Each structure stands twice: as structure tokens, then as C-alpha cells.
Chains A and B, each alone.
Chain A
Amino acid sequence: MLVFLLRRLAGHAVLAVLAASLAYLLAAAALRPRAEFEDRSPRPPAAVVDAELDRLNLNDRTPLADRYRVWATGVLHGDFGRTWQGDPVNGELGRRLLVSLRLLTCGAVAGGVLGVLLGAWAAVSRHRATDRAITFGSYLLLAVPVFVLAVLLQIGASRVNDATGVRLFAWVGETGPGASGGAFGPLGGLGDRVRHLLLPSATIALAQLALFCRYQRGTMLDVLHADFVRTARAKGLRRRDALLRHGLRTALVPVATYFAYTSGLLLLGAMFTEKIFGWHGLGEWLIDSITRGDVNVVAAVDCLAAAAVLLAGLASDVLQGALDPRARAGAR
């Protein structure tokens, strides 16, 4: 298993370097930071613009190969360069990664687990009212764009706040100013964080849930009538035990792979949630940087995304090994 994983890891590293380089070259060739500088109000002197672009390694009049060399040398030394504002990319990347993780972890896990359970339940009670209700609900959620969902949740939550007279829900950023300085001290700060997490987590969970529910229902239906489930029943297991122990576990294998890969992409895909709830995570940063032509940031975030997807792939291999007895047998 270890050799298998190491070999996979080496292959992934080559892929990551390729992906990162391509991302930089694409961003540097397609984005136009000069336009962003020349659009400043008022328009800065031309010499200043050139000097600033040179300093940030963003000057489109420098050959792309030279810019790439400077960037790649920096990255090899662990330095992703500077943002268009002159701030180091590294520090901001770390801060934003943590924000994204804090925002996504609860929602993604809750959405995944609930989705799997609902999907399995729908499969088991196929063609009955429960199945229809779950199917209808998940299609409805899939059809609603995330930003509409988020605003609907906000409107509902402010109704609740108004009705109860208690600020149960708050949703701008991670904390309100001065929360931990209140009567409850640090505990108040923690409560404030939880309160701020409720709605964005719900948004992410609902979007995840709908997808996973559909996938799980599909894979579960495949195994319901598989031989090994029937064998388990024949051994004398009750239907519920047979389905849970043998059916669900096998049906989870493809869904787990899917979960691992999407969580890598979720890191960047949560931009709508981040923007609407005022969290300053990676997705928002990537989109804003593309609009501004901030090449170094785009390249750095893409590097991170490449690494995340590959790590997710690795995690899915491990998960698969744990879930699927055949994979373990094959690797040995």
C-alpha cells in the first residue's frame, strides 16, 4: 500500500508542476495588469506604471519567458511574489486558505453525510412517496443558483430574527466587531463565530447535499440487487443489516472518490457564498484577481488548487483502500 501511494504521489508531483506552470503562463499571457494601472484615477505617470509593473514582475513588455523564470525561481524558494498592491502573496494565501477551510469544513461534511444518508434512504424506498419527495427536493436545490439560495436563507433568517427579537443569525464575515469584548467574554466570541457560521454553512451544505443525494441514490440502486447483497440476505442477515453493512459500504466507494475531488474544487467554487456572506476566502480572491489582472495571485491560487486536487486524489485512494476490500487485495 505504501509503495503504491508513493508512486502515486510522485506522479502527482509532476502533474502539479505542469499544472502550476501552465496556470502561470495562461494568466500572464491573458491578463492585462497594465490596463488596471492605467485606469487608476487619476491616470498615473507612464514611468511610474512601468516601474511598478517591473517591481511586481507584471510588465507585459518583459518577455513572457523572463517573467516565467523570475516567477518560477521565486516559487522554488517558496515565494509567490506580490499582489498588485505590493503585499506578499504568501501571507494572504495562508490567511485566505484558513478562512476558506473554516467556512467550508462544516458545510461540506454536513452536506456530504446528509446527502449520502438521504440518497440511500431514497434508493431503499424507491418509487414510494419518500423517494419522490427527496428527489423533488434535491432537483429543486440543484436548480436554484447558490446566490439565490443564500439570499433566500438571509431573508428567512432575518424574519426569524425579527420574530424572536434575538439576533440568532448574523452573517457578515466570521465575527461581529467587539463580540468577544461583551458580557460573556471569549465565550461570547465563540458564540458569535458559531452564529456567523450558521447561514453560510447551511448554504454550502444544501448545495452539496443535493448533489450527493443524487449520486448516492444512483450507486445504491446498482448494488441493491447485486449478488453479494443477496448472498448476505441468504446468510440470514436482516434486510437492513445487509443493506447497511454490504450495500451502503460498496455504494460509498464511488461517492467517496467524488467527495474527495469536489472538496478540492469546492475550495475555489465557494466564491458566491464567500461574497454574499462577506468571508474573505480563496474563491473571492481568485475571481477578484482575475478581474483586476493580478497575475501572481491567480497563479498562486491555481497552484494551491492543483495541489489540493492532487491531495484529494490521494485521499480518495486511501479512502478507497479502506472501503473496498478488492483494492487492498490488489495492492498487496
Chain B
Amino acid sequence: MRRRLVAPLACAALAAGPAGCRAGDPAAAPATGRVPASDVDAAPRDRVRAGGTLRWPLPEFPAQWNFDHVNGSKGVVDLVVQGALPFLMRADATGVPHPVPEYVTSARVTAARPRQVVTYRLNPRARWSDGRPIGYRDFAAQARALSGRDPRFQVATVTGYRQVLRVAPGRRDEVKVTFARPYADWRSLFSPLYPASTNADPRVFNAGWLNRLPVTAGPFRAGPVDQVAKTVTLVRDPAWWGRPAKLDRIVFRAMDTSAMPGAFANGEVDLMDIGTDAGALRRAEGVRGAVIHRAGGPDWRHFTLNAAGPVLADPRVRRAVMLGIDRRVIARSDLADLGWPAQTLGNHFFVNTQEGYADNSGGLGRYDPAAASRLLDAAGWARHGRYRARGGRVLALRFVVPSGVPGSRQEGELTRALLERIGIRVDIKPVPTDDLFDRYVTPGDFDIVPFSWLGTSFPLSPLRSVFVKPRGDRIQQNYARAGSDAIDKAMDRAIGEVDPVRARTLVNAADRLIWQEATVLPLYQRPQIVATRAGLANLGAGGFSEPAYEDIGFTGPAPGAP
């Protein structure tokens, strides 16, 4: 699970690539709440012109194009290879994954006992660009490479693949994957799928995708990689067996996020991720013909409270802090000028627009300074003048903010003003952005810290390390340093539940326990704001959904610039 620091900038995350959705999908209807789950210019394929070049800015330029390699596991790599490599599953706008029929016609759990078996029925026409059919060998090689059992593979993660016991061919075009333990997030595996020809040998796995994409199997194949201009081009693949790609080519071009507004204004890129940068939004709105798309993104903002600190070790004080912070005020301040409604988030796993979302905050999500004061009185912190004190010690909390991130500073100021009303002094401590985690959050030298977690369609596996009970110094990513066996058990039950509906219920049960622990205060779901040139169809702010690259294209007359 990655945390995101820099609030106003569009970072190198999955969200750097705005996602679209398949034409005709009823994706625009939000699952819950008022905010849209997806906002793309969905157009049927016959309205999309064949041809054209899409110019797509990237916030950084990767050298390693193997997404499973420790250096390649990045949003930008994912964004590019989605057009050229098999993704067996694609999420819709509410984060529910569905099989992609060009690769697998069905993917189901066919046995639960004695072991979980998933059967993939492959599309018989699916082929790699070197002519080999996509088959069980590719599954087996990827599962072996990412299992972590061979240390020569420099893998990014072994999550999920570690549980794979065996991969075997089934009947015609079938692949059977057997898991050692039940694994609920099996749909996250094999997306992307890399060929056995590069996954079998650790040397090729580590170095075969450096500055090139040797094998592809998608609507686009790899064009030139220009290391001077930092561009990578995908060109339409005539050998693609699905609906042919509408665009002739996609040119991905790396540039600093500060260059993107100017590039978009001058028509040198066709879309731009605005993030939560109100200045960039204003500049994009001034561009003639620009369309601004807004949808709920997968990432969420929160405050982590350090439960190992001398004051916050008492859960009553933590609850009082949560009740004393008006989350709507902070959300309104952070999201000002973005044209996005400030809606608070009541869940640690699902965001508002995601399937399975429920507001589990109970009493703690409200702003209730009277209840907070009662809790503090009960904990023995009595008012002496402006602030409360106990045993000669003033009730004071350190709010650590990364300096140079204006949003965080405001969050600190607002928290100070809000908590002062209930007699808690907040000392804002600005620290260098690069030092925030190394020197303050990881060692536990803070009381409150604001940052964002990056969300995915499979929230539980990555967020487990954030809420798992710390074992001595091994806190994983549980920066709050508190947990319980009950929470661990509830999360493990959810991870082992194969039925998606029951799994979501179990995740929410775990979330209610985490709310009671009062360690992490979710603030709001971050919006995804994307500016596109008018006439760009099937791409925009997709929420959780990933675009079908073959359907992206331009409607209307050809644009003036090449």
C-alpha cells in the first residue's frame, strides 16, 4: 500500500492515468452517495473516428517495463502496458472486477474444498506477438516467478502468488490454478500477464524489459521508445483478435507535472491529470474546448493518530480527538475551488463510490465537541484556563506536516483551531517532506500526521499491513501502532472468503472494529479530476474503472495538430 504525500500535485500513482470505461457500460451510476463514480465521454464505437494520435503525458519515465519487477511496479508502467499486455480482469467504476473476454471468456472458483481452485477459460484466439498462443505455461511461469521461492527473480511483491500451489492445464483452453489457502483477491492476479518467454528465466525477467517491450498481446503493440525525448509509442496492432483499436497510435510522453498545464493549454497533450491542484484546474478551464471530468478516485485522505504516544495511548483521548475534529470543515478546505462536493468518508477499506462501501463511523464520525469534552473529563484531563492538564502536564499534541505541502499546513491550522475549543493544544511541526516518514512517522515521533493512502479495487490485501497488530518493532505500515487480535482475525476471515458479497460484509465487520480502536481518522475520498480535449471519447476520470484501450478515440472532425 503506498501512501501519498504531496496533496496538490498529481503524483506517480495509478491515478496519474485517468481511466475510462467501455462504451455502453452503465458505469456512470454511482454506487452510493452524491459523487459520480465515473465520468468519461462514453461513446459507442461507431461514433468514434478510426485514426488519430493520442498524446498522453506521464509524470515520470520508467526504464523497467516489467510491472512485476521491483523497479517496474508503478502506475505509469501499468498505464502503458494496459494497452499492450493481457489484463485478465478489468474493474468497473465501482471497483468490481470483470473478466476481459478477449483474454478469458470466464474465470470462476470451481472448487472450494479441499483447496480453492480457479478455472480460467482462455480465448482460443489469444496470441502473443511472437506467434505463441497464450496458455497455461504463461500462467505457470508467472506464478513461479512471483512466488518468492526463487530469490533470483527481483519481484515487486509476492502477494497472492505466494498462495498458488499449482497451475495445471484443464480441458481445452482451460487453466486451473490451485491455492494452498483460500484467497479472496484472486481476481487481482495475472493482470497484467507476462509471457513465459520472459518470466521463465530470471535474467530475462530482470533485464529483458529494460527500455523495451519485447513481447505484447493487446490492441496495441510496442512502437519506439525514445530515451532522449522520454516518449514511448504504442501503435495499433493488426494482429489483435478483438475489436480493432480506433487510434493509430498513443504517444506517452514524460514531463514534470509543472509542465502539464502549459502543454495542455497549447494543445501539445490531449489530456491532463489535475489531481487536486486548483491552479492547474483554473488554467485547464480557460483552454478552449477543454472538458473537465470529475469522479471519485480510489485514494483517501486521513489523519493517523499515534497510539504509542504518551497522551494518545488512552483510547478515550483518541476518541475525543476524533469527535473534536469537524471533518467536513477540513474536507471543504482541502477541496475548495475544485468543483467537488465535500463528502466525508466513513470507511477504512472502501471509498464512497466503491461497491461495498458503508459508513461504519458510528458515533465517531460526527463532530461532537460536547461528547469529546466529557470523554476528556472522564480521562482525568481537566480544564485549567485555555487548555486541559493532568498531573501538571498540559494536554498538547504534535501535528507533523510536510513543509512545502500547503494543504497539510491548512489541515494542521484547522485542527489546532478545532481542538482548542475542547481544550487540546496542537503544536504544528513542519518537517521536510522527504524526512516525514523516515524521521518522524516510521519511528513514531508524532501525535497526528495527515497523508493519503492509495486505494485499489482489492483494498484488503494491501491495507492489512496498515491495521495489523504490531509485533514488537515490526509495525509493518501500522503507523498508529495499535491493533488487536480481534481486528487481525476479522481481516483474515475476510481475506479467506471467496464469495465477493460475503467478503465485503466481513471487510465491513473488520472496519467497525478499526473504528472502535480510533487510530486512523478517514477524512474524504480524493476526487479524480482530468482535463481532456473536446472530442476525446471513452477516456476521462474513470474512478476505479480501467479503459478498454481499443475504444479510446476521437469523435468529430480530425484535430488540427498532428
Q: What residue of chain A has the Cβ atom nearest to residue B259's Cβ?
A: A278
Q: Does B156 interact with chain A (Cβ within 8 Å)?
A: yes
A86–B64 CA distance with the chains assembled, in angstroms: 8
Given A170-B268, A172-B269, A275-B256; 9 other pairs, CB 8 A cutoff: A40-B2, A48-B156, A83-B63, A151-B262, A172-B253, A175-B229, A177-B231, A276-B258, A280-B61
Q: Does B505 interact with chain A (Cβ within 8 Å)?
A: no
Q: Does B434 interact with chain A (Cβ within 8 Å)?
A: yes
Q: Does B114 interact with chain A (Cβ within 8 Å)?
A: no
Interface flags, A163-187, vs B, CB<8A=1, else 0: 0000101111111111100100000
A172 close to B70 (CB less than 8 A): no
Q: Does B552 interact with chain A (Cβ within 8 Å)?
A: no
List of B residues within 8 angstroms of A176 by Cβ = 268, 561-562
Q: Does B50 interact with chain A (Cβ within 8 Å)?
A: no
Interface flags, A59-92, vs B, CB<8A=1, else 0: 0000000000000000000000001111100011
A172–B58 CA distance with the chains assembled, in angstroms: 13
Q: Report the count of interface residues on A (CB-CB < 8 A).
A: 54
A interface vs B, CB < 8 Å?
32, 35, 37, 39-45, 47-49, 51-52, 83-87, 91-92, 95, 98-99, 147, 151, 154-155, 157-158, 161-162, 167, 169-179, 182, 275-278, 280, 284, 288, 291
Interface flags, B186-214, vs A, CB<8A=1, else 0: 00000000000000000000110011000
Q: Does B437 interact with chain A (Cβ within 8 Å)?
A: yes
A161 close to B266 (CB less than 8 A): yes
B70 close to A49 (CB less than 8 A): yes
Q: Does B73 interact with chain A (Cβ within 8 Å)?
A: yes
A172 close to B227 (CB less than 8 A): no
Interface centre among A45, A169, A171, A174 (most CB of B within 10 A): A45
List of B residues within 8 angstroms of A178 by Cβ = 53, 562
- If the complex has contacts A173-B253, A177-B55, are A42 and B159 also in contact, measured as CB distance less than 8 A? yes
List of B residues within 8 angstroms of A45 by Cβ = 148, 155, 157-158
**Which chain B residues numbered 507 to 562 have a C-beta less than 8 Å away from chain A?**
561-562
A91–B3 CA distance with the chains assembled, in angstroms: 32
A172 close to B259 (CB less than 8 A): yes
A245–B480 CA distance with the chains assembled, in angstroms: 74
Which of B229, B255, B262, B434 has a CB less than 8 Å from the CB of A154? B262
Which of B62, B70, B255 has a CB less than 8 Å from the CB of A48? B70
List of A residues within 8 angstroms of B437 by Cβ = 35, 39
- If the complex has contacts A32-B438, A43-B465, A48-B154, are A95 and B268 also in contact, measured as CB distance less than 8 A? no
What is the distance, in angstroms, from B461's C-beta to the closest C-beta of chain A?
8
Q: Does B501 interact with chain A (Cβ within 8 Å)?
A: no
A41–B71 CA distance with the chains assembled, in angstroms: 10
A162–B267 CA distance with the chains assembled, in angstroms: 11
Q: What residue of chain B has the Cβ atom nearest to residue A39's Cβ?
A: B2
Q: What residue of chain B has the Cβ atom nearest to residue A153's Cβ?
A: B262
B155 close to A48 (CB less than 8 A): yes
Q: What residue of chain B has the Cβ atom nearest to residue A147's Cβ?
A: B258
A173–B159 CA distance with the chains assembled, in angstroms: 39
A157–B154 CA distance with the chains assembled, in angstroms: 47
A158 close to B266 (CB less than 8 A): yes
Which of A92, A98, A154, A288 has a CB less than 8 Å from the CB of B266? A154
- If the complex has contacts A40-B70, A42-B73, are A95 and B228 also in contact, measured as CB distance less than 8 A? yes
- If the complex has contacts A86-B207, A87-B63, are A276 and B259 also in contact, measured as CB distance less than 8 A? yes
Interface centre among B13, B61, B258 (most CB of A within 10 A): B258
